[in-house]
């Protein structure tokens, strides 16, 4: 027989954010912008190439990515005719370059960014109460960054998968 479990500890608050897409123009022997501010894990860098170009975006072997991050590689110089996208999955410092226009990966056509793994919300308070067979969760945020909504989930029986029961829009 399954037991009904209603414990505040079983209420999970999911935070659902949306990624920011940073547009980097690749033309005239430069990345514009060359240094991208405020990148957060999950964001996307979209490199838009000029129609006729002899450029690419790489991090290996002369650039750098944090341990565990995938290398950037848009292909051979001149082979990208429209755009290349890279999703940031690891916090840390990144340095990318064009193989043709940066002989050492440090000078010339080079770009950088530092990605943070900032939690997108700071809570002022979070309270859970049980009354009349109902669990009530309430919270107040101090800050919200890149956050679309909160999703509250619950688990009624041990061994049961949690299920989403309500969304609450973020107040950003």
Cα 50–Cα 42–Cα 36 angle in degrees, nearest 5 = 50
Question: Got the DSSP string for 78-104?
Answer: T--SSEEEEE--S-EEEEEE-TTT-SS
**DSSP assignment letter at 109:** S
Q: What is the reported pLDDT for 6?
A: 37
CATH classification for the domain delimited by 19-116, as one of 1.25.40.20, 2.60.40.10, 2.30.29.30, 2.60.40.420 = 2.60.40.420
How confident is the prediction along the chain (172 residues), in pLDDT tens digits per residue?
323 333 333 333 344 456 899 999 999 999 999 999 989 999 999 999 998 899 999 999 999 999 999 999 999 998 988 999 999 999 999 999 999 999 999 999 999 999 998 666 777 888 888 888 887 878 787 777 666 666 666 666 566 665 555 556 666 5
Q: What is the reported pLDDT for 62?
A: 93
Q: What is the reported pLDDT for 140?
A: 82
Start-end of CATH 2.60.40.420 domains in the chain: 19-116
Q: CB-side exposure of 93: number of CA atoms within 13 Å?
A: 3
- Measured CA to CA, the distance from residue 142 to residue 149 in angstroms comes to 15
């Amino acid at each position: 027989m399954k037991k009904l479990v209603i414990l505040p500890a079983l209420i999970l608050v999911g935070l659902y954010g949306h990624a920011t897409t940073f547009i980097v123009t690749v033309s005239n022997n430069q990345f514009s912008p060359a240094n991208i501010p405020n990148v957060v894990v999950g964001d996307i860098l979209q490199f838009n190439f000029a129609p006729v170009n002899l450029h690419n975006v790489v991090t290996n072997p002369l650039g750098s990515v944090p341990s565990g991050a995938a290398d950037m590689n848009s292909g051979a110089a001149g082979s990208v005719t429209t755009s290349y996208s890279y999703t940031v999955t690891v916090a840390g410092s990144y340095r990318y370059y064009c193989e043709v226009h940066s002989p050492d990966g440090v000078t010339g056509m080079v770009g950088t960014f530092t990605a943070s793994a900032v939690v997108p919300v700071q809570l002022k308070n979070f309270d859970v109460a049980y009354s009349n067979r109902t669990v009530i969760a309430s919270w107040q945020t101090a800050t919200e960054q890149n956050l679309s909504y909160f999703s509250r989930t619950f688990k009624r029986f041990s061994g049961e998968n949690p299920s989403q029961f309500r969304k609450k829009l973020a107040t950003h």
